[in-house]
Amino acid sequence: MTKTLLFLGVVFLTQMTCVAQQNVITIYEKNFLLGKINYESDNRFVKISDVYSGKVGTAMYLLEPTYEAFVNMSNAAKKEGVSLKIVSAGRNFQMQKGIWERKWNARRANFKSDEETALDILKFSSMPGTSRHHWGTDLDINSVDPAYFQSGKGKKELEWLELNAGKFGFCKTYNDKALQGRTGYSEEDWHWSFLPLSIGIMKQYTDAIELSDITGFLGSNTATKLNIIDVYVEGIATECTTLPLDYLFQDK
Ligand SMILES: [Zn+2]
């Protein structure tokens, strides 16, 4: 009996190690980590079908395993009467630069300094070169309006995700900041990360990327002063730093 349990334990641990290894052996180049890629021509990415898009008509891309996991999750949710659609997926450096600079130009005059302007934008938006959306591992589901998830349909969808997303490898990256003393962005009920890929990519990012790499857009001079990598890139929910147990131990 003890021997059998020991054997099963070894098999179990070996499988866990294999799962973990699968996710760290892919080496991503520095340009990938900074979002300096073209999703259309990069064959690591796949285009999202209209069936799973909340923005039909806008081309959106994810790394293939992220997309497959989302499709499985969305199909499972649908069986329980919950609709999950992607409203934002891979966003490269240029796309993030467009979002950031539009906000920068609209807000700069309202603040005394570059730092104050950046901090205001950083409540919900990343500096180009620091967004998890660059990696094709992270996506926004159904709405990016905080109020949407507070009641009715949105609340039901969020409850479903909080209960089930872990089984599919997804984690809500930006939880309530007060819960764990997390730094960085405000809570985002819509932003989910595919951990089997993003944990390894995050490790490669923090190993390879320096503050001096965060450059090439209006206000990039604030990246160092605001310690953007430690405070924002690393400011994620604790539970998003390891694979969910219900993902590891499910029947595949
Ligand atoms: Zn997002």
Q: What does the alpha-carbon distance between residue 193 and residue 36 come to, in Å, rounded to a whole number?
A: 20
Domain membership of residue 13 (yes or no) is no
**78-91 average pLDDT score:** 98
Per-residue confidence (pLDDT) for residue 183, from 0 to 100: 96
Residue 82 domain flag: yes
Q: What is the CATH number of the domain that holds 202?
A: 3.30.1380.10
Q: Compute, in angstroms, the gap from residue 167 CA to the centroid of ligand 1.
A: 20
Q: Is residue 132's pLDDT more than 90? A: yes
In 48-111, at which residue ranges do the beta strands (DSSP E only) sit?
A: 61-63, 86-88
The better pLDDT of the pair 1, 141 is held by: 141
Distance 148 CA to ligand 1 centre (A): 15
**70 within a domain of the structure (yes/no):** yes
Domain limits for position 67: 28-248
Number of domains the chain is built from? 1
Whether 18 is covered by a domain: the verdict is no
Contact 212, 198 (CB under 8 A): no
Convert the pLDDT of each residue in 225-252 to its tens digit.
999 999 999 999 999 999 988 899 876 5
Residue 47 has phi, psi (to 5 degrees) of -85, 140
Contact 175, 187 (CB under 8 A): yes
Distance 199 CA to ligand 1 centre (A): 16
Q: How far apart are CA 241 and CA 199, in angstroms?
A: 6
Residue 246 confidence (pLDDT): 87
Considering the domain boundaries, does residue 167 fall inside one? yes
pLDDT at residue 28 tops 50: yes
Distance 191 CA to ligand 1 centre (A): 4
Instruction: Give the Å distance between the CA of 172 and the centre of ligand 1.
Output: 10
In a domain, 112, yes or no: yes
Is the separation of the CB atoms in 137 and 196 below 8 Å? no
Strand partners, 47: 61
What per-residue confidence (pLDDT) applies to 250? 77
Cα–ligand 1 centroid distance for 90 (angstroms): 9
Q: In what order do the strands lie in the sheet with 138-141?
A: 86-88, 138-141, 191-194, 170-172
4 in a structural domain:
no
Record the pTM.
0.89
pLDDT per residue over 197-223, tens digit each? 999 999 999 999 999 999 999 999 999
Assess if residue 84 is contained within a domain.
Answer: yes
Counting other chains too, the contacts that 45-54 makes at CB distance below 8 Å and 24 or more residues apart are 45/90, 45/136, 48/86, 48/89, 52/84, 52/85, 52/86, 53/85, 53/86, 54/85, 54/86, 54/87, 54/141, 54/142, 54/143
Ligand 1 centroid to residue 39 C-alpha, Å: 17
